[in-house]
């Protein structure tokens, strides 16, 4: 049973966190007034490939855009690269975690209306050739590829982006997704209005029960962006395959310490995630 003291602390924490977030949202509102650039696009009817390093990454970064592409009649493949075995949520053992996350993928895909391809590579223990072998044919036929970013603190996200860079063509359209680290104004050049599908995206996010703690900061970042742009949005960096390869080559921190700071569980230092790190 939860004690009254624990409950009281939880209520206080909620109000404090909400107050701090409201301060930062005011700042984003002012930035939106000063910077009126709105580079919105309409998701196209074409062959689309979304590559997610872990289960839930696809929904958190591009769930709304996936549904908008679907509405346009696109041929969509969502590839989940790893099995997510490294998560410690809920105290589950490795086998139970893998199965639980597969169940969560199924539930989310039902809500999004998209069938997801599970590569099931062992998180942190896979070889690039395994990635290439399973995804090369999908990459070749894709008109647009949504990929994780080099602007990130998670080594698995960077590794997936680097493996993708090895097999994309120079002329393909690449849209780099925002996950734990904001892309920032300098890199963001492509926005998608997801207002009409926001509720479904939120429901799909809730399907990832084991990842709610990790997803809450990302949802907070979405609220900041919604305040800035006046509507629910997802943001991307669009580039050609050749540009994407150069970005990866020039900014890789593989084997070292990431220069980027992500959104933390508590909101007190949120703006630092937009400030700290390279913006190239």
Measured at the CA of 161, the angle between CA 160 and CA 162, to 5 degrees, comes to 90
Query: Is pLDDT of 183 > 70?
Result: yes
Predicted pLDDT at 8: 82
Digit-coded pLDDT (tens) for 77-107: 999 999 999 999 989 999 999 999 999 999 9
Tell me the three state secondary structure of residue 116.
strand
Residue 66 to residue 149: CA distance in whole angstroms: 17
Predicted pLDDT at 280: 46
Digit-coded pLDDT (tens) for 115-129: 899 999 999 999 999
pLDDT band at residue 178 using 50, 70 and 90 as cut-offs: very high
Predicted pLDDT at 9: 82
More confidently predicted of 257 and 198: 198
Predicted pLDDT at 278: 53
Query: Is pLDDT of 32 > 70?
Result: yes
Residue 19 to residue 186: CA distance in whole angstroms: 28
pTM reported for the whole predicted model:
0.95
More confidently predicted of 207 and 185: 207
**Do β-strands 116-121 and 75-82 pair in parallel, antiparallel, or remain unpaired?**
parallel
The C-alpha R_g of the chain, in whole angstroms, comes to 18
CA distances from 162 to 74, 95, 165 (A): 26, 28, 5
Q: Which of 215, 170, 181, 231 shows the shortest CA–CA distance to 57?
A: 215
Which run of H or E residues covers position 198? Answer: helix 198-207
Query: Is pLDDT of 71 > 60?
Result: yes
Mean per-residue pLDDT, 133-153 = 96
pLDDT band at residue 6 using 50, 70 and 90 as cut-offs: confident
Mean per-residue pLDDT, 16-30 = 97
Strand-pairing partners, residue 18, are none
């Amino acid at each position: 049973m939860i004690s009254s003291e624990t409950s009281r602390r939880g209520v206080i924490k909620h109000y404090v966190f909400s107050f701090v977030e409201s301060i930062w949202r005011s700042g984003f509102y002012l930035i939106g007034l000063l910077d009126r650039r709105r580079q919105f696009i309409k998701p196209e009817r074409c062959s689309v490939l979304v590559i997610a390093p872990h289960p839930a990454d696809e929904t958190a970064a591009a769930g709304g855009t996936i549904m908008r592409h679907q509405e346009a009649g696109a041929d969509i493949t969502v590839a989940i690269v790893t099995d997510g075995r490294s998560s410690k949520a809920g105290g589950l053992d490795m086998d139970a975690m893998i199965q639980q996350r597969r169940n969560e993928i199924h539930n989310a895909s039902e809500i999004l209306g998209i069938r997801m391809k599970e590569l099931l590579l062992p998180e942190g223990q896979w070889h690039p050739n395994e990635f290439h072998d399973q995804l090369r044919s999908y990459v070749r036929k894709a008109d647009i590829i949504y990929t994780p970013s080099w602007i990130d603190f998670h080594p698995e996200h960077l590794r997936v982006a680097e493996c993708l860079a090895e097999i994309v063509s120079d002329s393909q359209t690449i849209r780099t997704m925002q996950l734990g680290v904001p892309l920032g104004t300098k890199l963001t050049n492509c926005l998608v209005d997801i207002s009409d599908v926001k509720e479904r995206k939120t429901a799909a996010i809730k399907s990832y029960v084991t990842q709610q703690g990790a997803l809450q900061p990302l949802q907070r970042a979405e609220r900041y962006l919604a305040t800035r742009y006046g509507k629910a949005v997802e943001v991307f960096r669009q580039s050609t395959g050749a540009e994407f390869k150069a970005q990866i080559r020039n900014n890789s921190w593989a084997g070292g310490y990431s220069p980027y700071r992500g959104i933390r569980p508590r909101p007190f230092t949120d703006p630092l995630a937009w400030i700290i790190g390279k913006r190239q």
